[in-house]
Structure 1
Amino acid sequence: MFSSLRLFQQLACPDIPRCTRPHCLFSHSPDLPPPPTLVVPVELPTTTIPSSSSKTSSPSTIPAKRSVSSTSTPGLSKSQEPPRKQQKLAPNRAAPIPQQPTTGPPVLRANAALSIIPIPVRQAMLKTLYDHFAILYEAILPANPSIASEDALRQEEEIYKKSNKQSYRVAVIQCAAALKRRKTPDTSSHPSVGTEEEVQARAEALKSRKTLRVTRTNLEHLILSREDLELWGFLLDIPDGVGGDQPSLENKIAQCDRCSKSFLVKRKDEAEECIYHWGKPVSRTVSGQKVRVHRCCSRPAPDDDGCVRGPGHVFYESKPELLHARHAYSFLKSSPSPATVLDVAALDCEMIYSTSGLRVARVSVVDGAGKEVFDELVRMDEGVEVIDYNTRFSGITEEEYAKAVLPLSSIRESLDTLINADTVLIGHGLDNDLNTLRIVHTNCVDTSIMFKHPAGPPYRKALKDLAREHLGITIQSGGGTVGHSSVEDSIATLDLVKWHLLNRPKPKPRESSVAGSSSSRAIN
């Protein structure tokens, strides 16, 4: 047995005089004071009940539930109180979620327990990648402040997935060296923008498109039927009446296509100033509510004040009989084709406003391989004067238009050596280009119809949006010039068709539909 240390001999036995233990640990000496009594303070709140005899009579008290006061016991702070029953609470949804910084070096968000590379090492390598992307994107960072941070994060993730502990650092160093060798991009759609895998994938896709030559054979299933042509507003027959008998509306009343006011048609030097919005109204969400605003200045629509001052009021005509009266429609020639006629051609036009309405001022054509074969400026017909060069969209300035020599009739004769009735014409909103050229044609492929808008007809996706979505390029951004380029647009349209041929296989025709189509051809 262990010997007793007599540590409790200074304490009086709490069971005196009833203690029956033969060897009690406590002291039974009568000189020691009795053990202290534990006192638990209790707060008894009172509730005053008014007396029925008088409102000023003495109140009666009703005992309430006991509650422990945190200040009744000296030295007991609120943090030292006995914990209440723990409850499972819903997360605080109002609390802000940590966001990745939009500028500056990014912060790696990764689970340290699942990462085979220590997080501090990965963060240091991420910072290295960011520094190299920031130097590479120096010219485009002001317009895209988060692009270096976002690409660095994706690049680090690509390297991490393909590496192990031994190869990770080396892979990052090699990637940094590759970034140094890239060409400096001047736009966000430049081939040098993106991670290594993204740049390589774009290069391979571009190579595939360049080697693909579009022919009538691989376009057969994309040529619009007569029903589709009618649905989308293509002109299938030449309007009645004498064509070209009213080439100009100068000194006549028309409605402005921009501000909707009635005005007297005047040439550029005599025209009245027009104040308008160049951007169409679009729907945007502001403070949780959808509002209509002008895309150009974000002012609420409608807004009659306008945000741009134009050189004059302009008008636009869409009725075929009116267009025919300004300049006659005609079919493409169906005579035996010369050796220069193309089986496939992508076409685009730029238009300016004149006293004859919206008229063609530039025509560009590329062949099935994407090679430019025609690009000419168009001079207005005799008696037709320019009102507005529409430079914001056409890219044509007064100085450039002064170089135009051939009128539309001569341009049409030149086009006859390149395209005829059997040529498949490719375009985006091709019906507008054919109307401004006064061409009636039925072998058409239209990318604005091929890539369907979610809302269906008559809505169409913009060529600029389709090029960014499917080709990864930005067009119509101006670059060193202002406005669009019909050559650039025609090449982008052809590339969209190539992308469609490479990525969306030709649908297999059903036997019944094949039989029906062959019988219909036999009847015709």
Structure 2
Amino acid sequence: MFSSLGLFDALPCPDAPACPRPACLFTHRPGVLEHLVPIPVDVPTDVPPQPSPPSASPAPLVPAKRPVPHPSRPRTIPEAGPSEPPAKLQRIGPPKRPVAAPTATLSTNGTPVLRVSAAHSQVAIPVRQAMLKSLYDHFVVLYEKILPSNPTLASEHALQQEEEVYKKSTKLTYRNAVISSIASLKRRPFPDSPSHPSVGSEGEVAARAEARKKLEALRLTVAQLEPHVLSLEEMRKWGYIVEIPPGPGGERPTELGAVKTCERCVQPYMVKKPDDADECVFHWGRLFSSKASGEKRRLYTCCSRSADSEGCERGKHVFYDSTPEDLHLRHPFTFTRAPSSSNASASSRLDTALDIVALDCEMVYTTGGFRVARVSVVDSMGKEVFDELVRMDDGVEVIDFNTRFSGITAESYEAAVLPLAAVRKSLDTLINAHTIIIGHALENDLKTLRMIHHRCVDTVMLFPHNAGPPYRRALRVLVKEHLGQTIQSGGGSVGHSSVEDSVATLDLVRWHVLNRPRPQAKPQEGSAGRQ
């Protein structure tokens, strides 16, 4: 017999206490046998009960194991790729530089104050603020002539310049980059108008110069503009006068003594000479919609007052003729002249008319309504070829020079020599029935010139308003948006310049030809002009 290895000594004997084995492999110790389930056996009833051993200490508590998944529902664990890190540790794309887009408020002395999160700026905010103040001081010196009419221009451009420098420099190069920008500001010529080439941040000036080179290099041709020439139907839709109104023209040039409705205050009044004209209280701005605290209001652009408020300016009562018949009574309409005939004499065969011109007029209020007081024309390259003040017809007197918009004053008007009839004859040397005339809301200029012309390109139609006709986008807004220039910002004492507006309109058409798809040519409609 082999000796026992004692592997079952800790297990109670399943047959105890009636185990028949003389050398049992299991234990028969009393403390272990108590854990056995009692098996009923025939025990003599006369056997006295055995005393129970002292109770052993309780077994230590063992934590329960996690539940084992059901065999029919195997646990699935997603496996990551061999080289793919966990999703939260993955880096998507190159590391991005902290964004620190600045906003600004003005301090008491006019210097813009940066509003930038310090956590997002690689350059210390006090350093950036100091550099911004230096830029602002130099812009103030540069804009000395134009700041009175544009007080926020220096702060706006200083903020833009600082942002441009910050975006293209590092923490180590930022200060030197600002110093270089200040040095370039000192080399700029002093601007005399907001549309001057030296007005703007460094990026704006460079972008504008590049765009200007492209525009100036483009010489407009008749073939390029032909698809944009308005048809007679389009001209009628936009208020152009395409035929001479019935009746004799020029029979009633003035309305002295007549009762008219004031264009400004919409009140009836009697037309009088300038010295005797009644005073009018009015708003010179237009109404626009504004919403505040959930309430929609109609306010004036001139003073931000409500539509039912008293006027913010005082002047004279004026009237405006709108019907072709009334306009024809003041001064007669005529067609632009026909081209010189090829069978004419050699001396008159050469036609001096240009193929393309851009035209703009400035108007004043008179006893004969709204009349032209200045006419400006530039050729297809933007060169000024005609700029004249217009003297009023006999019996017509100026009531209001409308300087805020026309730029004409009583002093400058004293230089006017040619009446409208003579100005039209002078324009005949530049414009005939085949000339393409470019303008913005050109029908107003042609009406006040009493000119009927059928070959027109209008930037109102090239750049339509989102709301559709009759709404129109302002010329200054289009020039700012597409050319990056500021025009018509001289203020109430300076007004507009018809030469500046003519060049701006021409440049808008150039921009459109360069950047917009070319439309299909329109079929010719009717005659180009009539005698």
- How high is the TM-score relative to the length of structure 1? 0.72
| 2:156 is the counterpart of 1:150 | no
Query: Partner of 1:269: helix, strand, or coil?
Result: helix
Query: Partner of 2:225: helix, strand, or coil?
Result: helix
CA change 1:377–1:517 in 2 (3 A) is closer
Aligned equivalent of 2:275, options 262, 269, 289: 269
User: 1:407 aligns to what?
Assistant: 419
Query: Partner of 2:378: helix, strand, or coil?
Result: strand
CA change 1:432–1:520 in 2 (3 A) is closer
Q: How does 1:95-114 map to 2 (within 5 A)?
A: 100-103=103-106, 104-106=112-114, 108-109=116-117
Q: How does 1:127-142 map to 2 (within 5 A)?
A: 127-128=130-131, 130-138=133-141, 139=143, 140=147, 142=151
Q: Quote the Cα distance in structure 2 between the aligned partners of 1:274 and 1:169.
A: 57
User: Residue 390 of structure 2 contacts residue 416 of structure 2 at CA under 8 Å; is this kept in 1?
Assistant: yes
| 2:400 is the counterpart of 1:388 | yes
Q: How does 1:108-507 map to 2 (within 5 A)?
A: 108-109=116-117, 119-120=122-123, 124=127, 127-128=130-131, 130-138=133-141, 139=143, 140=147, 142-144=151-153, 146-148=155-157, 150-160=159-169, 171-185=177-191, 189-303=195-309, 305-310=310-315, 312-336=316-340, 338-478=350-490, 482-507=494-519
CA change 1:243–1:282 in 2 (3 A) is same
User: Residue 129 of structure 1 contacts residue 156 of structure 1 at CA under 8 Å; is this kept in 2?
Assistant: no
CA change 1:380–1:517 in 2 (3 A) is closer
CA offsets 1:96-132 (integer angstroms, 9 cap, x no match): xx984423452554766xx8xxx24687367435522
What one-letter code is carried by the residue in structure 2 that aligns with 1:376?
E
User: Residue 427 of structure 1 contacts residue 490 of structure 1 at CA under 8 Å; is this kept in 2?
Assistant: yes
Q: Quote the Cα distance in structure 1 between the aligned partners of 2:114 and 2:203.
A: 20
Q: Quote the Cα distance in structure 2 between the aligned partners of 1:401 and 1:143.
A: 32
Identity, in percent, stands at 51
What one-letter code is carried by the residue in structure 2 that aligns with 1:199?
V
Q: Quote the Cα distance in structure 1 between the aligned partners of 2:303 and 2:524.
A: 55
Q: Quote the Cα distance in structure 1 between the aligned partners of 2:405 and 2:436.
A: 26
CA change 1:100–1:346 in 2 (3 A) is closer
User: Residue 361 of structure 2 contacts residue 445 of structure 2 at CA under 8 Å; is this kept in 1?
Assistant: yes
CA offsets 1:418-444 (integer angstroms, 9 cap, x no match): 101000001111000000000111100
* Of 204-213 and 182-191, the range deviating more from structure 2: 182-191
Runs of 5+ consecutive residues of structure 2 not aligned to the other structure: 1-54, 59-100, 107-111, 341-348
Q: Quote the Cα distance in structure 1 between the aligned partners of 2:369 and 2:492.
A: 29
Q: Quote the Cα distance in structure 2 between the aligned partners of 1:405 and 1:519.
A: 38
Query: Partner of 2:511: helix, strand, or coil?
Result: helix
**CA deviation after TM superposition for structure 1 residue 493, in Å:** 0.9
**CA deviation after TM superposition for structure 1 residue 248, in Å:** 1.4
User: Residue 106 of structure 1 contacts residue 127 of structure 1 at CA under 8 Å; is this kept in 2?
Assistant: no
CA offsets 1:313-362 (integer angstroms, 9 cap, x no match): 11101100111111110100013174421111111111111111111111
Q: Quote the Cα distance in structure 2 between the aligned partners of 1:498 and 1:506.
A: 12
CA offsets 1:127-181 (integer angstroms, 9 cap, x no match): 4355224422454484347415531442134313xx6x77666545434433333
**CA deviation after TM superposition for structure 1 residue 480, in Å:** 10
* Of 263-272 and 336-345, the range deviating more from structure 2: 336-345
Query: Partner of 2:477: helix, strand, or coil?
Result: helix
What one-letter code is carried by the residue in structure 2 that aligns with 1:143?
T
What one-letter code is carried by the residue in structure 2 that aligns with 1:327?
H
User: 1:62 aligns to what?
Assistant: none
Q: Quote the Cα distance in structure 2 between the aligned partners of 1:168 and 1:273.
A: 59
CA change 1:130–1:221 in 2 (3 A) is farther
Q: Quote the Cα distance in structure 1 between the aligned partners of 2:524 and 2:289.
A: 47
Q: Quote the Cα distance in structure 2 between the aligned partners of 1:265 and 1:253.
A: 6
Q: Quote the Cα distance in structure 1 between the aligned partners of 2:260 and 2:219.
A: 46
What one-letter code is carried by the residue in structure 2 that aligns with 1:306?
G
CA change 1:219–1:307 in 2 (3 A) is same
CA offsets 1:477-513 (integer angstroms, 9 cap, x no match): 2279521111111111111111111221313x4xxxx
What one-letter code is carried by the residue in structure 1 that aligns with 2:312?
C
CA change 1:156–1:488 in 2 (3 A) is same
Structure number with bigger Rg: 2
What one-letter code is carried by the residue in structure 1 that aligns with 2:127?
A
Query: Partner of 2:168: helix, strand, or coil?
Result: helix
Q: Quote the Cα distance in structure 2 between the aligned partners of 1:503 and 1:19.
A: 99
User: Residue 136 of structure 1 contacts residue 185 of structure 1 at CA under 8 Å; is this kept in 2?
Assistant: no
What one-letter code is carried by the residue in structure 1 that aligns with 2:389?
L
CA change 1:151–1:19 in 2 (3 A) is farther
Query: Partner of 1:198: helix, strand, or coil?
Result: helix
What one-letter code is carried by the residue in structure 2 that aligns with 1:181?
R
Q: Quote the Cα distance in structure 1 between the aligned partners of 2:390 and 2:525.
A: 45
- How high is the TM-score relative to the length of structure 2? 0.71
Q: Quote the Cα distance in structure 1 between the aligned partners of 2:197 and 2:377.
A: 25
Q: Quote the Cα distance in structure 2 between the aligned partners of 1:252 and 1:477.
A: 36
CA RMSD of aligned residues (A): 3.1
**Which has the higher relative contact order, 1 or 2, with Cα contacts under 8 A spaced 6 or more apart?**
2
User: Residue 247 of structure 1 contacts residue 325 of structure 1 at CA under 8 Å; is this kept in 2?
Assistant: yes
Query: Partner of 1:373: helix, strand, or coil?
Result: strand
**CA deviation after TM superposition for structure 1 residue 366, in Å:** 0.6
**CA deviation after TM superposition for structure 1 residue 520, in Å:** 11
* Of 178-187 and 397-406, the range deviating more from structure 2: 178-187
Q: Quote the Cα distance in structure 1 between the aligned partners of 2:283 and 2:113.
A: 40
CA change 1:320–1:107 in 2 (3 A) is closer
* Of 212-221 and 249-258, the range deviating more from structure 2: 212-221
CA offsets 1:172-199 (integer angstroms, 9 cap, x no match): 5434433333345566554334443322
Query: Partner of 2:388: helix, strand, or coil?
Result: strand
CA change 1:386–1:170 in 2 (3 A) is closer
CA change 1:142–1:519 in 2 (3 A) is closer
